Structure 1
Amino acid sequence: MAKVGEQLKKPEAGWKRYDDSDGAISYTPSDGWRKATLNDHYLGSSSGSLTNSNGNKFVFSFVGTKLRLILSHSNTYTDKIQITIDNEIIEFFSAKSSSFIHQILSYEKTGLSYGKHYIEVTTVNKPSNSSGYDFRFDALDIDENGQLLHPDEVSSISKLKIGKRIRCHYKALANICGTFSGLGKETSDFISTTSSATPDGDFYFICVDKDHLGRWKLIADRNIQYSISWDTLNSAGVASGSGLPVVLDKDCLTALRLIKGGIGTDKDNEWDKYILSSDLNSSIIAGDNNVWNFKHMYSWSSSTFGTYVERRTVRIDNLSSYEDPKGTIKTVGFRPVLLLVIKYCRNIIFHDNKYKTYDNEWKTISTTLPSKDTFMNDGISDLSTLDRKEQIVTLPMTSSGLGEGKLFKAKVDYKKHFDINRINVK
């Protein structure tokens, strides 16, 4: 069993590892972190907290009971890093050592209650080396049956609202519009933010608005495929119009299309409105590349480019350009928009004069009759989570004298054990 301060290059039995580049980890401020590449890092790179930036922290959530943080240590790194769990400062730990060494088990927390936990890791003491790093964060380990979550991530469509994100899987062959699956599930590693010609991984849909039909509008947080032509997407029904109907969840109606990128240089379009200008109800910094990953590759849009009706608008950062719809180039990618309408109602449980919902645990949401929005945002969408399963319970029996024989008895608590179908005595 590894101890804090020892090198730990792979997760031990009962644990699983996530790299620092995992899309569920959020780094702030965006200019306070830099990727550090080195063969000795886990998977060859880590995230360095820059000393010339203040308030540096990384945040994530996870479902499980235990956590380990893997960092690089150095004699120039900070000796005080603060960890906050579920909005409570738990303790401090250090990344300072006498030598430069990597993949060190720097922090461990076990014995948490099973469920979703919110984590913040923040530099407290800035080291004197103002041109270097506070520390390098390399990886984290959690329960082998746990799940890493972005702080704004939801796993159920019933929890969607502006600023929330939901995971989805995408798999495709070169220049073919692929298949979407696993909405709300962790299926595999994330598709690289630099995309792929043959992707097979997860990404996030981020909820940005509702359209004129009342459908949730979600935009992919990255280009999920490059070297795919607009014509290919159009043939699949994705490029324009009302979108391609797809089945991603039995309880909602969904369609996929491209983002509206503007006709020429106009600003009245989805790219400028959501990618560049919206803070999504104060949940993000508007135009944050760490959220949208839009600075290194153009995205196909559904729009034609001004008078060049034979060309299609492509967008990168705050720039507009155009490309031949037949083109299959590495610098232009597919960033889908998902339109979603939920076709069922939610449920809230009234118990002990309180209105409650269930999300890994019972939570009180109101003491008065909830509003429609509360039902929609916080209600239970899947009552199967409350299904009771058959259970066999063994109760010890005590004996007492009764003439020449003995009387055996046991007390059954009907508040705990209900719907009893059979009692066997042995």
Structure 2
Amino acid sequence: MATIGQALTAPEAGWQRIEDTDSRIQYGTSNVSGDVHYNAGTIKFSFYGTKLRLIYDNNSADTIKVDGVSYAITPSTSVKKALVCEVLNLPLQEHVVEIKTTTGLDWLSQFNAIDIDSTGYLVISIGALLPAPESGWKRYDNSNSAIQFIGSGWAIDTNSGYYQGSAKFTKTPTDSLKFSFIGTKLRIISINDVWSALTATIKIDGVAQVYTQYHNNGNQVLVFEKTGLSQSHHTIEIIASGATSTLNVNLDAIDIDSTGRIYHPDEVTKIEDLTIGKRIRCHYQSTISGTVGIFSDMGREASDFIPVASSATPNGDFYFIMVEDWNRQKRLIADRNIQSSISWDALNSLGIASGSGLPIDILNDNDNLTTIRLPTGGASATDKDNEWDKYIVDSTLNGTITRGDNNVWNYMSGSTRFGSWTSSTESGKSGEKILRPNPGGSGTDPTARGNSLTNSVYPYNGFRPVLLIDSPLLNKSFILFNGEYKKWVEGRPTIEESFSLATPKMTSNITPSGIAFSESYFNVNFEPWKVFNQIDDGEGYASGNGSGGKGFLGYQFPSAVVIAKYVIRSMTGSNHLDKMPKDWYFEGSNDSTNGTDGTWVVLDSRTSQIWTTITTDKEYIISNPQSFKTYRLRWTANNGVATYTDINELMMYSYTPYTPSIPSSWKSISTTLPSVDTFKSEGISDLSILDRKPTTFTFPMDNDGVSGTVLGRGKVFKEKVDLKRFFDVNSLSVK
């Protein structure tokens, strides 16, 4: 057990060390030399746990408060990495720590590190640097197309220290930004420097509050946090209320729940909700340069957005924006070039460049016909009867956008314009087609026009599709009975509650499907797939020699799945039971590629799990199961062996809840003739469900009287059959 004043170069058992460079620790003055912060003035951080140790290289008169209570810091001037303060027996909760240090250049305060519980963690606080989202969060950059910037003052600042290299700022106090999201929590990440305004205003679901934007100079600073929201759709507006002619309000990034998603204020997810000015998300991927790719995932977030400059082999999302709704046809135009370096001829070879376009199945329904084609661009500068001028240059889309706004149509990035192929031929030049605006030029003028040979391939020329959605006449019906329009609703049988083993029987780390992974393994005989092979084979999986009681092991499914239960099986030999995990977290991730990276959400945690019998299954239910692609068991201690950890089998189960049966029934729709939309959404599309089906009925033979007395022997039996109720009696069997 370490004592105050002695050197403590590594954390003891039950502790973990956090270095002074951790971004969650805030310094009044960032004086750094080697592995210490010296004479910082103030040091602030918060942690979750029950105990704390301070490690210093030098201390003369620093003081500390934990949750407002003062504790002693022992002076130390000759011992490096000396334990100078220890606080024990705190309640298991979040604690706020503030250290006051000497200032100036005398090096009398040299803060090196802190130690806290091995199962604890630092809690990010407002004003701290947050260069990456924490576990349970995901980050969206300010450049994400779902964020709507309103006002003419917004500009872009670039810096390698910003998240993804850029931030947006404004010095106009009436400027704002909007987005919405589904989730329960929100964080705003900003840049803090001498040009940052002190405050800004945020509205969450219409409720306004002022937050402090400036804290300490630094990049990627957490300036606002809101947790505890309902799991639902929330609208967000940030107003640059604190901006002045010299001070700006800025946005670097947004963090929300790792399972959430942000939406543009005008975004919808269903075709039937589209109106002029609304937009719907879509995915596009082309794996071969110069070749048209595949459209998919309409209304869903499948990946990040395609960059404005696009590429020859794009793989990302974009928006289709509704510009027209006429004669049962919805017309939408992509908000950007979705593919560059593709010729007009390549598009024309599939019929995309023609007026009729290319029919595609993008909606996966039978109620709409969808076609992709190029926009029209006008044969000359005076020809304004074309889609580019009508919708992109001149339209406000019923007041939802500003005419020709590059923030909406993304025809320019930086100082470079990107031209979109059109179906229009340049007047007097039959071998050339119109591009709008002219590619490669500068200036934000959407009226500009250019032309190029149909076989030309340039990075500034691109494919911006028009999507036509036609609603053909549909054969939908209702049954009018007793003055009500009704539809027949088929029932469903009872579904019993059940768990199903989701992990396959693995024969290697990658076969038959998915990927088994671990932080380390002992040798090739104890690889991670051994816990998923459904065989009790000796030690099964063993972590790397020297890994001690820490490590992780998991499985990545081909696609996301909800795991509601996991089972751990003990070893086949009693001499290995002390190598089994004792304390662990069961976690899920949707963005991890190797089990180490990505954002992880804790789904279950266990401590003091003791194993006393061989080949024994312990079952653990996840109280709040969620959908993830990758799952892992991350243990922080085993049952005593310092060299490595063993696990025989790890099984993950999906869950089917009990669902009661629902009988078939007639559903009343209205007492008046339903509207066209109601016919489309509710009408019976297949009347064969009303076909009469052969049915056997059994009648007791009695005297057909009111009493229903059964007749005795030697009597004549008779029974009436109500033909108003039963049709087409095909056979009669009397027994």
Taking structure 2 as the reference length, what is the TM-score of the superposition?
Answer: 0.46
The 8 Å contact of residues 296 and 362 in structure 2, kept in 1 or not, is answered as: yes
Question: Which of 356, 367, 384 matches 1:242?
Answer: 356
Pick from 187, 197, 219: which aligns with 2:333?
A: 219
1:291 counterpart (390, 408, 422): 408
* 2:455 partner SS: coil
* 1:369-384 paired onto structure 2 within 5 Å: 372=675
Moved over 3 A (4+): 342-346, 368-377
Cα shift readout 1:119-146 (whole Å, capped 9, x = no counterpart):
000111224xx25x51331111111111
Q: Higher relative contact order by CA 8 Å / sep ≥ 6: 1 or 2?
A: 1
2:238 equivalent in structure 1:
121
1: CA distance, partners of 2:672 / 2:394: 37
1:256 — aligned with what? 372
Residue identity matched to 1:94: T
Which residue of structure 1 aligns with residue 278 of structure 2?
A: 164
Where does residue 161 of structure 2 map in the other structure?
40
Correspondence for 1:74: 193
Amino acid at match of 2:468: L
- For 1:405, the equivalent position in structure 2 comes to none
- Pick from 303, 310, 318: which aligns with 2:424? 303
1:328-347 correspondence to structure 2 within 5 Å: 328-342=457-471
Matched length: 350
Q: Does 1:196 align with 2:315?
A: no
Contact 2:150 2:175 in 1 (8 A): yes
Seen in structure 2, the aligned counterparts of structure 1 residues 93 and 331 have a Cα distance that, compared at 3 Å, is: same
Residue 21, structure 1, aligned to residue 143, structure 2: yes
Residue 110 of structure 1 and its aligned partner are, at CA, apart by 1.1
Q: Tell me which amino acid in the other structure corresponds to 1:328.
A: V
Residue segments in structure 2 that go unaligned for 5+ positions in a row: 1-122, 438-445, 477-670, 684-735
State the secondary structure of the residue aligned to 1:70: strand
Say whether 1:179 aligns with 2:294: yes
3-state SS of paired residue (2:169): strand
Deviates most, 227-236 or 118-127:
118-127
Separation in 2, partners of 1:282, 1:150 = 16
Alpha-carbon spacing, 1:36–1:345, altered in 2? closer, same or farther (3 Å): farther
Partner residue of 1:320 out of 449, 468, 486 = 449
Distance 1:345 1:190, change over 3 A: farther
- Percent identical residues: 43
* Residues 285, 190 of structure 1: alpha-carbon distance in 2 compared, 3 angstrom cutoff: same
Aligned partners of 1:269 and 1:165: how far apart in 2?
Answer: 21
Matched, 1:61 2:180: yes
Query: How far does the alpha carbon of each residue in 1:106-129 deviate from its partner, in whole angstroms, 9 at most, with x for none?
Result: 1111111111111000111224xx
Q: CA deviation at 1:375?
A: 5.9
Cα pair distance change 1:111/1:334, threshold 3 Å: same
Q: 1:407 is matched with which residue?
A: none
**Would the alpha carbon gap of residues 330 and 273 (structure 1) be closer, same or farther in structure 2, given more than 3 Å must change?**
same
Contact 1:302 1:312 in 2 (8 A): yes
Q: Does 1:103 align with 2:217?
A: no
CA pair 267-25 structure 1, distance change in 2 beyond 3 A: same
How far off its partner does 1:165 sit? Answer: 0.3
The residue number in structure 2 matching 1:413 is none
Going from structure 1 to structure 2, the CA distance change for 1:376 and 1:17 (only over 3 Å counts) comes to farther
Q: Which amino acid aligns with 1:247?
A: D
Q: What is the CA–CA distance in structure 1 between the aligned matches of 2:218 and 2:197, rounded to whole Å?
A: 14
**Residue 10 (str. 1) matches residue 126 (str. 2):** no
Instruction: Find the counterpart in structure 1 of residue 640 from structure 2.
Output: none
Amino acid at match of 1:115: S
What is the CA distance between 1:249 and its match in structure 2? 1.1
Amino acid at match of 1:335: R
**Which structure has the bigger radius of gyration?**
2
C-alpha distance in structure 2 between counterparts of 1:39 and 1:176, whole Å = 34
Aligned to 1:408: none
Q: Does the alignment pair 1:207 with 2:322?
A: yes
Unaligned 5+ segments in structure 1 are: 347-367, 382-426
Q: Is the 8 A contact 2:200 2:249 kept in 1?
A: no
Return the letter of the residue paired with 1:261.
G
For the 8 Å contact 2:243–2:249, the answer to whether it is kept is: no
| Aligned 8 A contact 1:67 1:140 in 2 | yes
The alpha-carbon deviation at position 224 of structure 1 amounts to 0.7
Of 186, 203, 211, 1:93 maps to 211
Q: How many Å separate the matches in 2 of 1:124 and 1:370?
A: 52
Q: Give the aligned partner of residue 394 of structure 1.
A: none
Separation in 2 of the partners of 1:331 and 1:249? 30
